[in-house]
């Protein structure tokens, strides 16, 4: 033990004092970063698994009755002065203050200064720090450095302010999603969750609470598409006649919807628009266009000449007819289940998990042709948004949307994706909060995900991320106080993550609970697969499934 004061006034730093919890002293303060010279041995745990100075561990700096809490982001050996002895220097980010009344507040009211002692944060103090969100009684992870300490999460902020889960392939993103959703479903009896599942992984993680819309059962009838969605899908905007086509299709589609309104006495009248979710017969509409396309008219001289729309739709009709025949587009143009106006209610029930005893809908997109995935995402995202826009009881129906492989669904370069999907998802990120729609975006390439979407996410689960471009990109998006922590991202273990944002009281390095059961996302084992010699592959069966696009055969 060494005395804390000396007789010399020039010496500002207190003398080294090694008690159970004193681990070093502050030697530099720079904005929201402090450097701490570590006295304690970083290779020996002070208690159980608390290794002093380990990146991700917490330190406290007592000052004026407050405890300033910081999190270690890096540690190095360095010289304090030229030729001086090597010192262990820990870089820390200031994250908050534990006040004398034991309340934790984010940010620092009183900045620390050099010479102050840095101490270990005890379990008791961690409990006080994490107390703020404990009443939510919701947690899916524990501290990586102290697995006894659960990290309570503010579930309202987590979902309403949107969450991005980023990390390399195999870092544990899908397991993190499954773990969060399993806990949500277990705790809340009335959840409404829609998962866009690109690889057919999630059904295995939710054996009974979930309605699975399998790839070959997904149906999004053409009449549910808004006018813009229909145009994005069917009109080639590079064609010279594209503008003409768009004007005429608008007219034809409005007439077709009005036809249903009057035939079925829906009573919509003037309130019906070209976007209204009202059934129409697509073949009737196309036949109208087909007639205009070949229409001949008499000119002033009484001669029969091609009409104003003659030939305008030549290429459109060829493209449209081939789509109508294409089995990959059957789920839009030849729906089996949702082929009448009254089926809208059933469709909403199934997709929003409404009144059907299920608490989550997993839409398996694994068998859908990649060029139509954008349509599915666009239409469902928009329909969900509009449903709650018109639902005055939306406070009873918060909906969570989960976008797996979001960089494929809403890519950064708008020309790569489906324009309506961008529009619908970006609207959810910008305005969803007010209408009770939250979102989780999962991506292994955050740098390739729409900037509008990711910049609206207030919460991040950053898992192992080794690509420097992606790291840099995420660093720019997270709060300043958490930026230094991302240096840890490349070395995180599988299932380990940095939890950043307003759903946790402070940035934390956590170990996410392994879901039980797990999604079907584990690696195929080469060694095992190549060892078994007994079984012959049923090639015919594979070919049959492939040709019919059915996995149940
Ligand atoms: N919290 C965890 N604890 C321990 N192991 C985990 C954890 N999370 C995931 N794993 C392991 O890592 C494997 C891969 O996880 P997962 O499928 O979630 O990765 P991913 O990030 O979604 O990958 P991809 O981007 O390729 O979809 C899992 O099969 C599981 O065994
Ligand atoms: Mg995954």
**Alpha-carbon span 544 to 52, nearest angstrom:** 60
- Interhelix angle for 419-431 vs 227-234, to 10°? 150
**Token pair 């101490």 in the structure block, residue:** 119
54 CB-contact burial (10 Å; exposed 0-12 / middle 13-18 / buried 19+):
middle
Mean pLDDT, the chain, rounded, equals 87
Q: What is the pTM of this model?
A: 0.87
**Alpha carbon of 33 to those of 79, 91, 473: distances in Å?**
18, 7, 21
Say how many Å lie between the CA of residue 174 and the centre of ligand 2: 4
Q: What is the mean pLDDT of residues 79-99?
A: 82
Q: How confident is the model at residue 358 (pLDDT cuts 50, 70, 90)?
A: confident
Ligand 1: residue of 166, 169, 175 to mutate (most ligand atoms within 8 A of CB) is 175
What is the position in ligand 1's atom list of the atom closest to the CA of 515? 1
Q: How confident is the model at residue 374 (pLDDT cuts 50, 70, 90)?
A: confident
Give the model's pLDDT for residue 55: 87
Answer yes or no: is pLDDT of 69 > 80: yes
Give the model's pLDDT for residue 404: 94
Protein residue with its CA nearest to atom 24 in ligand 1: 169
Answer yes or no: is pLDDT of 243 > 80: yes
Q: How confident is the model at residue 4 (pLDDT cuts 50, 70, 90)?
A: very low
Give the model's pLDDT for residue 20: 53
Residue 468 contacts residue 476 (beta carbons within 8 Å) = no
Residue 194 contacts residue 385 (beta carbons within 8 Å) = no
Note the pLDDT tens digit of each residue in 502-514.
999 999 999 999 9
Q: How confident is the model at residue 81 (pLDDT cuts 50, 70, 90)?
A: low
* Ligand minimally distant from the alpha carbon of residue 523: 1
Give the model's pLDDT for residue 2: 38
Q: What are 141's strand-pairing partners? A: 512
Note the pLDDT tens digit of each residue in 252-274.
999 999 998 888 888 888 889 99
Give the model's pLDDT for residue 366: 83
Ligand 1: residue of 172, 449, 519 to mutate (most ligand atoms within 8 A of CB) is 172
Q: What are 143's strand-pairing partners? A: 146, 510
Say how many Å lie between the CA of residue 177 and the centre of ligand 2: 9
CATH of 139-220+355-521, one of 3.40.50.300, 2.170.130.10, 3.20.20.140, 1.10.645.10: 3.40.50.300
Residue 46 contacts residue 38 (beta carbons within 8 Å) = no
Protein residue with its CA nearest to atom 17 in ligand 1: 521
Say how many Å lie between the CA of residue 196 and the centre of ligand 2: 12
* Lowest-pLDDT range of 111-125, 485-499, 539-553: 539-553
- Interhelix angle for 314-325 vs 282-294, to 10°? 150
Say how many Å lie between the CA of residue 445 and the centre of ligand 2: 12
Reference 320, options 283, 348, 346, 280; nearest CA is: 283
Give the model's pLDDT for residue 15: 42
Pocket of ligand 1 (CB under 6 A): 167, 169-175, 444, 494-495, 512, 514, 521-522
**Alpha carbon of 548 to those of 139, 327, 538, 551: distances in Å?**
43, 9, 16, 9
Answer yes or no: is pLDDT of 350 > 90: no
* Ligand minimally distant from the alpha carbon of residue 520: 1
**Alpha carbon of 496 to those of 42, 53, 166, 243, 283: distances in Å?**
21, 18, 12, 52, 53
Q: What is the mean pLDDT of residues 87-112?
A: 90
**Residues across the chain:** 553
What is the position in ligand 1's atom list of the atom closest to the CA of 177? 18
Q: How confident is the model at residue 36 (pLDDT cuts 50, 70, 90)?
A: very high
**Alpha-carbon span 120 to 53, nearest angstrom:** 9
3-state secondary structure of 41: coil
Q: How confident is the model at residue 194 (pLDDT cuts 50, 70, 90)?
A: very high
Say how many Å lie between the CA of residue 443 and the centre of ligand 1: 13
Reference 200, options 182, 186, 218; nearest CA is: 218
Reference 511, options 218, 151, 79; nearest CA is: 151
Answer yes or no: is pLDDT of 444 > 90: yes
**Alpha-carbon span 278 to 255, nearest angstrom:** 12
Protein residue with its CA nearest to atom 4 in ligand 1: 495
Protein residue with its CA nearest to atom 29 in ligand 1: 522
Say how many Å lie between the CA of residue 330 and the centre of ligand 2: 28
Give the model's pLDDT for residue 147: 85
Instruction: Express as a percent the part of the chain with pLDDT over 90.
Output: 47
Give the model's pLDDT for residue 538: 86
What is the position in ligand 1's atom list of the atom closest to the CA of 444? 25
* Lowest-pLDDT range of 146-150, 171-175, 528-532: 528-532
Protein residue with its CA nearest to atom 9 in ligand 1: 172
Residue 521 contacts residue 173 (beta carbons within 8 Å) = no
Answer yes or no: is pLDDT of 416 > 80: no
Q: What is the mean pLDDT of residues 28-51?
A: 84
Q: What is the mean pLDDT of residues 202-223?
A: 82
Answer yes or no: is pLDDT of 76 > 50: yes
Does 7 or 375 have the greater pLDDT score? 375
Q: What is the mean pLDDT of residues 150-161?
A: 95
What is the position in ligand 1's atom list of the atom closest to the CA of 513? 1
Say how many Å lie between the CA of residue 528 and the centre of ligand 1: 19
Give the model's pLDDT for residue 18: 45
Protein residue with its CA nearest to atom 7 in ligand 1: 495
Answer yes or no: is pLDDT of 11 > 60: no
Q: What is the mean pLDDT of residues 407-411?
A: 89
* Lowest-pLDDT range of 141-155, 181-195, 289-303, 513-527: 513-527
**Alpha carbon of 254 to those of 227, 263, 278, 291, 324: distances in Å?**
9, 14, 10, 17, 21
Ligand 1: residue of 141, 151, 174, 179 to mutate (most ligand atoms within 8 A of CB) is 174
Residue 543 contacts residue 499 (beta carbons within 8 Å) = no
Say how many Å lie between the CA of residue 515 and the centre of ligand 1: 10
Give the model's pLDDT for residue 287: 92
**Alpha-carbon span 38 to 42, nearest angstrom:** 8
Protein residue with its CA nearest to atom 16 in ligand 1: 172
Does 32 or 28 have the greater pLDDT score? 28
Give the model's pLDDT for residue 82: 60
* Lowest-pLDDT range of 6-20, 184-198, 280-294: 6-20
Reference 139, options 124, 129, 149; nearest CA is: 149
Answer yes or no: is pLDDT of 86 > 90: no
Q: How confident is the model at residue 83 (pLDDT cuts 50, 70, 90)?
A: low
* Ligand minimally distant from the alpha carbon of residue 180: 1
**Alpha-carbon span 313 to 305, nearest angstrom:** 17
Give the model's pLDDT for residue 226: 92
Q: How confident is the model at residue 230 (pLDDT cuts 50, 70, 90)?
A: very high
**Alpha-carbon span 274 to 249, nearest angstrom:** 10
Answer yes or no: is pLDDT of 8 > 50: no
Protein residue with its CA nearest to atom 31 in ligand 1: 522
DSSP label at 365? -
Q: What is the mean pLDDT of residues 324-349?
A: 85
Q: How confident is the model at residue 3 (pLDDT cuts 50, 70, 90)?
A: very low
Give the model's pLDDT for residue 16: 42
């Amino acid at each position: 033990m060494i005395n804390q004061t000396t007789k010399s006034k020039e010496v500002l730093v207190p003398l080294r004092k090694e008690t159970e919890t004193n681990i070093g002293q502050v030697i530099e303060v720079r904005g929201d970063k402090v450097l701490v010279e570590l006295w304690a041995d970083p290779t020996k745990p002070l208690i159980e698994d608390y290794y002093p100075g380990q990146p991700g561990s917490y330190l406290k700096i007592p000052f004026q009755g407050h405890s300033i809490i910081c999190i270690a982001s890096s540690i190095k050996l360095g010289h304090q002065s030229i030729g001086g002895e090597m010192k262990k220097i820990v870089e820390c980010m200031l994250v908050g203050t534990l006040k004398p009344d034991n309340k934790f507040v984010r940010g620092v009211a009183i900045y620390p200064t050099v010479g102050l002692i840095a101490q270990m944060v005890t379990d008791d103090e961690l409990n006080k720090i994490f107390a703020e969100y404990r009443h939510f009684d919701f947690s899916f992870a524990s501290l990586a450095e102290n697995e006894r300490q659960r990290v309570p999460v503010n579930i309202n902020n987590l979902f309403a302010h949107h969450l991005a889960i980023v990390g390399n392939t195999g870092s544990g993103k899908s397991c993190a999603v499954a773990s969060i959703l399993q806990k949500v479903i277990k705790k809340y009896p009335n959840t409404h969750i829609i998962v866009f599942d690109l690889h057919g992984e999630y059904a295995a993680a939710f054996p009974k609470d979930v309605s699975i819309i399998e790839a070959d059962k997904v149906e999004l009838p053409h009449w549910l598409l808004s006018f813009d969605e229909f145009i994005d899908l069917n009109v080639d905007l590079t064609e010279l006649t594209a503008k003409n086509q768009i004007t005429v299709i608008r007219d034809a589609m409005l007439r077709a919807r009005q036809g249903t309104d009057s035939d079925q006495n829906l009573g919509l009248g003037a309130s019906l628009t070209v976007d209204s979710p009202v059934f129409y017969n697509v073949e009737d509409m196309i036949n109208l266009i087909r007639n205009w396309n070949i229409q001949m008219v008499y000119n002033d001289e009484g001669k029969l000449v091609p009409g104003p729309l003659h030939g305008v739709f030549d290429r459109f009709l060829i493209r449209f007819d081939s789509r109508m025949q294409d089995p990959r587009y059957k789920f839009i143009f030849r729906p089996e289940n949702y082929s009448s106006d009254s089926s809208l209610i059933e469709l909403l029930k199934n997709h929003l998990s409404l009144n059907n005893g299920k608490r989550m809908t997993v839409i398996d997109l694994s068998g859908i042709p990649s060029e139509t995935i954008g349509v599915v995402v666009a239409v469902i995202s928009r329909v969900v948004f509009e449903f709650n826009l018109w639902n005055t009881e939306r406070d009873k129906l918060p909906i969570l949307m989960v976008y797996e492989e979001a960089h494929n669904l809403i890519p950064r370069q708008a020309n790569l994706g489906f324009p309506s999907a961008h529009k619908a998802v970006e609207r959810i990120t910008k305005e969803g909060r007010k209408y009770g729609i939250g979102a989780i975006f999962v991506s292994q390439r955050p740098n390739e995900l729409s900037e509008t979407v990711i910049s609206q996410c207030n919460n991040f689960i950053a898992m192992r991320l080794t690509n420097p471009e992606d790291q840099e990109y995420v660093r720019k998006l997270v709060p300043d106080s958490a930026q230094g922590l991302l240096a840890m991202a490349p070395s995180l273990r599988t299932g380990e993550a940095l939890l950043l944002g307003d759903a946790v009281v402070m940035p934390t390095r956590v170990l996410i609970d392994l879901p039980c059961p797990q999604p079907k996302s584990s690696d195929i084992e080469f060694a095992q697969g190549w060892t078994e010699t007994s079984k012959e592959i049923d090639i015919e069966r594979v070919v049959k499934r492939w040709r019919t696009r059915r996995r149940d055969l």
